[in-house]
Structure 1
């Protein structure tokens, strides 16, 4: 069992490498690492598929069946995307759950989350200093999983956003949504100076990513978790305190320009598309959400994994609808709806909602922190569609593990 723990800890250290040092966008280091782990678990007969996993497996199957509704549009991208969603769920969710199945507590993994998060934060801070003050682009020295030149993402006209170990800063923020809550399991008993120093470091790295979606998702997840757990006057006071501290922090003269240039500018573009200035704008996103709606109306049972990307590459239309550039829909839920239809999306929503409800019913610190991670990532994935990232699947695996352990003890 100690060997499996070490394997799981090393995997956690590799999770943020979702683009850096990857061979292709479809083969990041976490995926490559988990491939031999899956073989190892099969050999020692520890790989398990649980009853609660059937819904997510059925969702994938619905996306495969959806290809029959657009059979004349199929191509190689259908194979790529089907492999991507299948291997991501298998390796990042099913294999990971099997790897930690015998653990009595996830506490033993918390140190790896804390260490990995500290490393990522140092990397981001160094990248920010190099790019903004020394004119050094770190992607010139580190290979990233893209064949296209990585353009600098700027903010406030001149500030270059660090991308961390991802292609985009917003993608890197999803790792913080996973690891920030879970790192507290390890650090909660540390002396106050160590605790403050650690979170000063990691929150500095998180802030420099300027991720508008993450700055909404993570605080909202914390607030939802606190509100639902109101049990007494003390917990009501705690929720009111969180709200007041958040309001004061966001409305201060120091924080206001930062919020205006992240969340604020996105809302402004959404309300007035003429104000758009970023390469990927809120207006682009709203157009893609509209295409999701239009495609759903003409193909409620889906058109299969990768069909949208294939038609975008071939410049074909479906029922008079032109696919968005690249074929992506900027929302995991939209991707599932278009690929596997309304039935597939309902399966996924039921799958993820059950885990959230189960965590809400638990009272341990570990379950609360895993809940924050699951909620934050679930919200963030309204605005990104990268299902080949491990963060969401790993958080769902931890949710199952925590629930089963605490239910068994109870």
Structure 2
């Protein structure tokens, strides 16, 4: 397809829906703007499922909302007034985008909580996303309410709302229900919350359900995760990025006067002040605990034997321990494993933090990939670009990193 034809087709949802999948052919690697991006997101979730034109419009609208292309979603709605449902909001990992959150791998639990004055909140609990609260109307994340302010909606009310079904008969649904989507949580008023490993969405019906499976259902093809943007390895490591990966409460930032006086490496001092350090990290059987605190970091001194500043400790599992230190002048990160001699672990503290952050950022995609994603391959490539030592198992440092990386490139979310 010629570039101009591609742009014109995807710029108009009406033209795209009218043309159907037969007009698309083999798509080029890039091009098509936000319409192509919404299409790519839609077909990634559908994963080859056959749906009608009207139902595909619902999925195209979903893709646009996941990506924040709200103007394009409006064009879809105008082009397909007969679409059976629409997405109200979505907190969802886009295809090809390696992000620490949302990561609902391992399962998620969704509840509706209500206040005495009628206000409602959606509560999400997940192994790797923690506890989060959402405004059910907008999807805005809000602070957890005070204890006793909200209570879980009574079972009878949930059961009554559940009678307002979304997909109709579970055995022969009138609309396509992805196998990865958990049981819908009814919110009332024709709205439902769905969760799966890649996120949570609230959707609502636009009209009556079809009488049966849609006539004229076809597969809408596939597309690659080509639009995810620059690799984070190429972008600055800042406070927002660390907060997203580790959680704001689990990042330690220290003003220069609160840092160890013996730390002379300027880039490391700047990193600790501006972006911070993770207080805690976990993957598989391994955990890392930061040795520094707000109150005590300025008193940390180099050890007498090697002249290195203690930074933290890895519990590698099975009585295997790695003490992590930083050279006060060069910023290089060293490890002492089980009382042995120090060995180089990362070229500097920023690289060390980037590698830990990368594990969290790729984690969800490694465990719960979309069709066409190669998260494990892409993760190893990013780790190699950050520090070749990290992917060289012939070195002591690479051997430890291989053990840490195995949590996402070899094991499942359940650790096997």
* TM-score normalised per structure 2: 0.27
Q: Which structure: greater helix fraction? A: 1
Q: TM-score, normalised by structure 1?
A: 0.27
Structure with the bigger RCO (C-alpha within 8 Å, sep 6+) is 1
